[in-house]
A and B are shown apart, each in its own frame.
Chain A
Amino acid sequence: MRLLASSGQIDTTHPTAGNWPIQVNLDTIYNTAIVCGLMIGLAVFLRSRYRERNPGKFQVALESIVDFLQGLIKDTLGTKPIPIGPIAISLFFFILVSNLLGLLPIFKSPTNDINTTLGLALFSIFLLHYYSIRFRSFPGYIKHYFSIVQPRWTGPWGWTRVVFAFLEAIQEASRPITLSFRLYFNIFVGELMVALIITLLPAIVAPFFGAVWLLFSIFVSLVQAFIFTMLTIAYIAMGTDVEHEEEGHGEAEEERRGVPVTTTEAAAA
């Protein structure tokens, strides 16, 4: 669909299979399969040479990334019983590997396609609403929209609440759009720029600019993967903020915090 109207022709369409209503982009499917295969291969490779005492460089790098993400989750979510850790780490590595795949010569990123990023964003939004309803119970979830300005349920119910509920609903509805479009356009424009640099610039300066843009694209891939993961965690943390009930939460927190202490005491005894 997008053709460059000068000497070179850059084709950014995807070969498709099937018709309406089910139509898949074939090369996105192939590249997603390659990304999944790469991730499984790297995981198996790491597991085969896993050493506790004297870890290798690759193991140290991955452990530092996982450690950083776990610290982020603990900082943001606190002591809420939300198993977002494995989901967030898998999401981060999947988006990172699929963003970086497009920088290699023959491959294209799976996140080059709006369908991939929209699917990931809808998955995150579904998680957000699911945990929000589970933590607040459905009437509380609806009431939260009407209590953005005045955070106590017992305020005056007037037209201002309806206006702010509407604005908050628009803000929430824009989240899947910005999540998916941010990732999609960053990666797609990066790949398109590589093609434009190769096509439009003279052959003497093109490798230099291409190398600079590739370095920037690696940085953008890292940052966008991290932002997607962090926004998912932050949205869930904001959506499960239960402020008013303190007695029930106090007991549950003590119960939860008590479990690791008793096991270490039992092990020491």
Chain B
Amino acid sequence: MTDRGLILGLSTVAAGLMLGLGALGAGIGDGLVSSRTVEGTARQPEARGSLLTLMFIGVGLIEALPIIALGIALLLLFANPLQK
């Protein structure tokens, strides 16, 4: 196994791990935020507007890190800085 092959193969595994774990974390976080929003709206339908705003803030903040992971995974897959 050549050196370059090893680096590219391990980079692909790393990219897969990054994407998978990022999606897992984002899914759990988004699910928690959305479930609390729905529960709060069910409890108090007048607060729907502000709860929706807070939900979008939460989703935007939660989705930041998986998208950073996606960007670094794309970098590793297509323009690997470690290969010779």
Binding site for B on A (CB under 8 A): 1-5, 178, 181-182, 185-186, 188-189, 192, 223-224, 226-227, 230
Interchain CB contact under 8 A, A227 and B70: no
- A3 CB contact (under 8 Å) in B60, B68, B70, B78: B78
Interchain CB contact under 8 A, A223 and B70: no
Interchain CB contact under 8 A, A223 and B56: yes
Identify whether the interface residues of B are mostly helix, strand, loop, or mixed.
helix
Interchain CB contact under 8 A, B67 and A189: yes
**A182–B70 alpha-carbon span in the complex (Å):** 11
Interchain CB contact under 8 A, A192 and B74: yes
B45 interface residue, CB < 8 Å from A?
A: no
B64 interface residue, CB < 8 Å from A?
A: yes
Identify whether the interface residues of A are mostly helix, strand, loop, or mixed.
helix
Q: 5 shortest A-B CB distances, which residue pairs?
A: A182-B64, A227-B60, A185-B71, A2-B79, A223-B60
Interchain CB contact under 8 A, A181 and B56: no
Binding site for A on B (CB under 8 A): 56-57, 59-61, 63-64, 67-68, 70-71, 74-75, 78-79
Given A2-B74, A185-B71: A230 and B57 within 8 A (CB)? yes
- B61 CB contact (under 8 Å) in A4, A188, A192, A227: A227
Given A2-B75, A5-B78, A189-B74: A182 and B57 within 8 A (CB)? no
Given A2-B78, A4-B78, A182-B64: A188 and B71 within 8 A (CB)? yes
**A186–B71 alpha-carbon span in the complex (Å):** 9
Nearest CB of chain B from residue A60's CB, rounded to whole Å: 17
**A101–B64 alpha-carbon span in the complex (Å):** 21
Given contacts A186-B64, A230-B57, 12 further A-B contacts (CB under 8 A): A2-B75, A3-B78, A3-B79, A178-B64, A181-B68, A182-B64, A188-B71, A189-B71, A223-B59, A223-B60, A226-B56, A227-B61
Interchain CB contact under 8 A, A226 and B60: yes
User: Would you list 17 pairs from A and B whose C-beta atoms are within 8 A, ordered by A residue?
Assistant: A1-B79, A2-B78, A3-B78, A3-B79, A182-B60, A182-B67, A182-B68, A185-B64, A185-B71, A186-B63, A188-B71, A189-B67, A189-B70, A223-B59, A223-B60, A224-B60, A230-B57
**A4–B60 alpha-carbon span in the complex (Å):** 29
- A181 CB contact (under 8 Å) in B59, B63, B64, B74: B64
**A227–B53 alpha-carbon span in the complex (Å):** 10
**Residues of B close to A182: CB separation below 8 A:** 60-61, 64, 67-68
Interchain CB contact under 8 A, B70 and A226: no
Nearest CB of chain A from residue B75's CB, rounded to whole Å: 7
A13 to B, closest residue via Cβ: B79
**A230–B53 alpha-carbon span in the complex (Å):** 11
**Residues of B close to A227: CB separation below 8 A:** 57, 60-61
**Residues of A close to B74: CB separation below 8 A:** 2, 189, 192
**A174–B67 alpha-carbon span in the complex (Å):** 17
B71 to A, closest residue via Cβ: A185
